[in-house]
């Protein structure tokens, strides 16, 4: 059941990203202090941000302290 919920949430995110990407086809450039990227489609920037967020969110449980989980067992 958990896999179904996770798959549904992921599919919803992908659908939202696709919808927003089609509606906003303009180019943007990212700026951070003195660094500026090339012009990229807004949908690509959004998809990259979501992918990075999923990756970091998936790795966070590996980095946390497991002493709480071992105490429950």
What string of H, E and C letters represents the secondary structure of 30-69? CEECCEECCCEEHHHHHHHHHHHHHHHHHHHHHHCCCHHH
52 vs 45, 58, 59, 65, CA distance in Å?
A: 10, 10, 11, 22
pLDDT digits (tens, 9 = 90+) for 1-28: 888 888 888 888 888 877 877 787 788 8
- pLDDT greater than 70 at residue 39: yes
Contacts of 41-47 spanning 24+ positions with Cβ under 8 A = 43/17, 43/18, 46/17, 46/20, 46/21, 47/17, 47/21
- pLDDT greater than 80 at residue 66: no
- pLDDT greater than 60 at residue 46: yes
More confident residue, 67 or 62: 62
């Amino acid at each position: 059941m958990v896999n179904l919920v996770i798959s549904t949430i992921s599919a919803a995110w992908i659908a939202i990203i696709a919808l927003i990407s089609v509606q906003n086809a303009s180019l943007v450039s990212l700026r951070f202090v003195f660094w500026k990227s090339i012009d990229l489609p807004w949908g690509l920037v959004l998809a990259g941000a979501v992918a990075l967020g999923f990756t970091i969110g998936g790795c966070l449980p590996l980095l946390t302290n497991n002493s709480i989980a071992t105490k429950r067992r």
